[in-house]
Structure 1
Amino acid sequence: MANVTISTGVRANLISLQQTANMMSETQNRLATGKKVNSALDNPNSFFTAAGLNDRASDLSTLLDDMGQAVQTLKAADEGIKSITSLVEAAKAKANQAAQSSSNTDRAKFAGEYNELLTQIQGIAKDSGYKGKNLLDGDSLSVTFNEKVGTEKNSLSISGVSYAADGALSLTEVADGGWDTGDTGDAAIEDTLSSLTNALTSLRTQASTFGTNLTVVENRQNFTKNMINTLQEGADSLVNADSNEEGAKLLALQTRQSLASTALSLASQAEQNVLRLF
């Protein structure tokens, strides 16, 4: 079949229409996806840089979840220490009541209540875990703050205590008749009061340590949240499209397409006018 010859004017208008159609398709794709860089073909540098930023943000997001769980574990331990401190203070009150009493019956009653408080202290310590991790029952906790490994890894190791074990706070139950009136009983009460004072000091020191650890983890948690936002904003600035700009561009292209179609029609009519001469 013989080739159809197209005039220069018609060919120029066809090329213009094709280019406009391609540009409209690209603009419509940007508006549909919200991105000006959808693949490495659009802009390799921006595409791979944004991918790297998003990958790091994703890694930090995983660590952020772990930090959140670590915060809850520390809060559970802190609540446990607060409750144990209240029980130790109640136990100290029982020992003081026994010291002020001259009745063996009353002292035996106070000793029984004291022993029950010690049992509850162990119970609270055993129940202060979170998701299988209990800092008051000898478990330790390690929190990772960045996605790096080796010497560049940043983490915090938190050591637990064993308040759930017998005598962990150097507190022992009172044997039958251990607090009876007399020099031996009075001395035993004084020893108990001394042990309770030491236990309270230990509890307050441990609470301060856990509080410091909690502050560190929460600060790193907030820092990581802000870092993730920074990384994502940086990635978005490289690949996201400006919807206002793309919308205006599409409107201009539609106008250009309409004008090109009109020009093509006029060029065709010019050729038809030449035919009429024959």
Structure 2
Amino acid sequence: MGDIVLSSAVRENLLSLKGTAKLQSTTQNRLATGLKVNSALDNPNSFFTAAGLNDRASDLSSLLDNMGQGVQTIRAADDGITAITQLVESAKAIANQALQTQSEFQRKAHTEQYNDILEQIEDLARDSDYKGKNLLAGLGNELQVIFNEDSTSNLKIDPVDFTDTSLSNGLALSDLETGAGATSSFSFAGASTTLDLPTLQASSKLSELGTWADGDIITVTDGTTPTTFTVGSGVGEIETVQDYVNALDGIQGLKATFDETTDQITIVSGLGPSVTLSISKDNTGGGTATGGGGTAGAATTSTTTAMTAAAKLTSSGGYDVGDVLYITDGNGFEAAALEVDKNTTVSDVVSLVKSIKGLDANFSSGSVSLEGDVSWNITSSSKDFNIDAFATTDGTVKLTATDSGFKDDTDIERVLKAINAALDELRSAASNFGTALSTVEIRTDFTEELINTLEVGAGALTIADMNEEGANMLALQTRQQLSSTALSLANQAEQSVLSLFG
């Protein structure tokens, strides 16, 4: 090529075309990539500055994922606290319901419901995890959210532990004693005997009988404990038939009446099954020993037998028409009552007991077996009820069960106080998590804005102005066309020499 000689005009046009082509190539590359700085060769300062900005934006973008997961973990804990708060409020409502009733059985039922709520709280706390992190499960679940590239800016969120409601540094709500049931029993027994007092009326003196004299002593015994009365007109002595009847009737477990038509005292015993009542009068005052009546002889005896389910209560000395039986629980709550009439049977009492929630009864061979979930007492308006021996001073049928945690008002009030403290703890935890959640969300928003700022800044250094580059391309295309035309003209000037050889 060194042998070819080009004119200066042609060479200048060729150089112009080469420069234009190079500029076109650069402009086309910018239009294709959208960047005016594609490598360090284009602009080292802008390239490396933009790379630094983009690198930081990328690092912060990776932290956004951590922040987002932190937000979800906190929200899971907050959702758990919200639900636990509702359950604690339900427990409070149960305690208040227990306080509004005196029924020990109902309070026991409320105790069991309360414990069920606590179990649900623990289950809910354990279920409040997010990707293996649970801010309601205590130690080992600390959450750290990092906000910058070198981890110097971060937020540590300490967990609480609600998976065990009894923890003193948590809700401090312990399970309540539900109480244990118990058993008891009582018997239905009866016997009847009569004492003949011939020719006497209620107002007659006992000494009018030939076998009786003032100073004679009457002995009534159940085989173990004797009770004595002295015939006479002195203080504490019995003088008339009515005095005698009243004395016998005054012994617990016995009923005594006098029939002036038959001149007989009828004594009905309600002592325990197979207990023998014995009545006798001696001759201490000069009379003749009798069986408690007017005829000389041995003691009058009567042995109680077990009553059947169909037997009437009045056939026992422990019951009389008008007596009222009361069934009350350990709190004194009256669950049922029965007024005895002449037709009331043993079966009626058993049915009454079986109708009471928390108390059951079975009757067999004159004995009632009781089974109760809570404590129960069966009492009577009569002093003769359930007196199985003269030594018995209180015939109350007692069934003593283990108390539940809601038995007494003071117990319930103590639980309510603990519940209120637990609600304060939940509100405090919710506030702490809410503050942490707000902080993380604010830092997330800030990081997103900062990433955008960094990327915009990097783009300002490297991104091409497409409008400008488009205009440049049109200008270069025009320049190329003009350069081509100029080259053609230069070549035509040289071709004019050929005409000389025509």
What TM-score bracket applies, with the shorter chain setting the length? over 0.9
1:24 pairs with 2:28: no
* Residue segments in structure 2 that go unaligned for 5+ positions in a row: 181-329, 333-405
Give the structure-2-normalised TM-score. Answer: 0.53
State which of 232, 239, 253 in structure 1 corresponds to 2:476: 253
* Residue segments in structure 1 that go unaligned for 5+ positions in a row: none
Shift of 1:167: 1.1
Aligned to 2:494: 271
Tell me which amino acid in the other structure corresponds to 1:177.
G
Alignment partners' CA distance in 2, 1:275 and 1:264: 18
Aligned to 1:10: 10
Alignment partners' CA distance in 1, 2:463 and 2:442: 31
Shift of 1:2: 5.6
Tell me which amino acid in the other structure corresponds to 2:467.
N
State which of 158, 177, 194 in structure 2 corresponds to 1:175: 177
For 2:6, what is the secondary structure of its paired residue?
coil
Bigger CA drift: 64-73 or 160-169?
160-169
1:240 pairs with 2:458: no
For 2:479, what is the secondary structure of its paired residue?
helix
Aligned to 2:411: 188
Tell me which amino acid in the other structure corresponds to 1:137.
A
How large is the Cα RMSD of the aligned pairs? 1.5
1:147 pairs with 2:370: no
Question: Which residues of 2 match residues 106-145 of structure 1 at below 5 A?
Answer: 106-138=106-138, 139-145=141-147
Give the count of matched residue pairs. Answer: 274
Aligned to 2:427: 204
Tell me which amino acid in the other structure corresponds to 1:161.
V
Alignment partners' CA distance in 2, 1:191 and 1:102: 17
1:247-273 Cα shifts (integer Å, max 9, x gaps) = 000000000000100111111111111
Tell me which amino acid in the other structure corresponds to 2:143.
L
Aligned to 1:69: 69
Shift of 1:177: 2.8
Distance 1:200 1:2, change over 3 A: closer
Aligned to 2:449: 226
Shift of 1:184: 6.1
Aligned to 2:438: 215
Question: Which residues of 2 match residues 24-103 of structure 1 at below 5 A?
Answer: 24-103=24-103
Shift of 1:186: 2.4
For 1:113, what is the secondary structure of its paired residue?
helix
4+ residue stretches of structure 1 with deviation over 6 A?
Answer: none
Alignment partners' CA distance in 2, 1:181 and 1:34: 88
Alignment partners' CA distance in 2, 1:66 and 1:83: 26
For 1:277, what is the secondary structure of its paired residue?
helix
Aligned to 1:165: 164
For 2:408, what is the secondary structure of its paired residue?
helix
Tell me which amino acid in the other structure corresponds to 2:178.
D
Alignment partners' CA distance in 1, 2:493 and 2:475: 27
Aligned to 2:239: none
Tell me which amino acid in the other structure corresponds to 1:146.
N
Alignment partners' CA distance in 2, 1:184 and 1:134: 37
1:9-58 Cα shifts (integer Å, max 9, x gaps) = 11000000000000000000000000000000000000000000000000
Tell me which amino acid in the other structure corresponds to 1:33.
T
Distance 1:268 1:276, change over 3 A: same
Alignment partners' CA distance in 1, 2:160 and 2:469: 61
Alignment partners' CA distance in 2, 1:132 and 1:162: 15
Tell me which amino acid in the other structure corresponds to 1:224.
T
For 1:36, what is the secondary structure of its paired residue?
coil
Aligned to 1:156: 155
Shift of 1:166: 4.5
Tell me which amino acid in the other structure corresponds to 1:96.
N
Alignment partners' CA distance in 2, 1:73 and 1:88: 22
Q: Which has the higher contact order (CA 8 A, sep 6+)?
A: 1
Alignment partners' CA distance in 1, 2:100 and 2:166: 25
Alignment partners' CA distance in 2, 1:148 and 1:272: 74
Structure with the larger strand share: 2
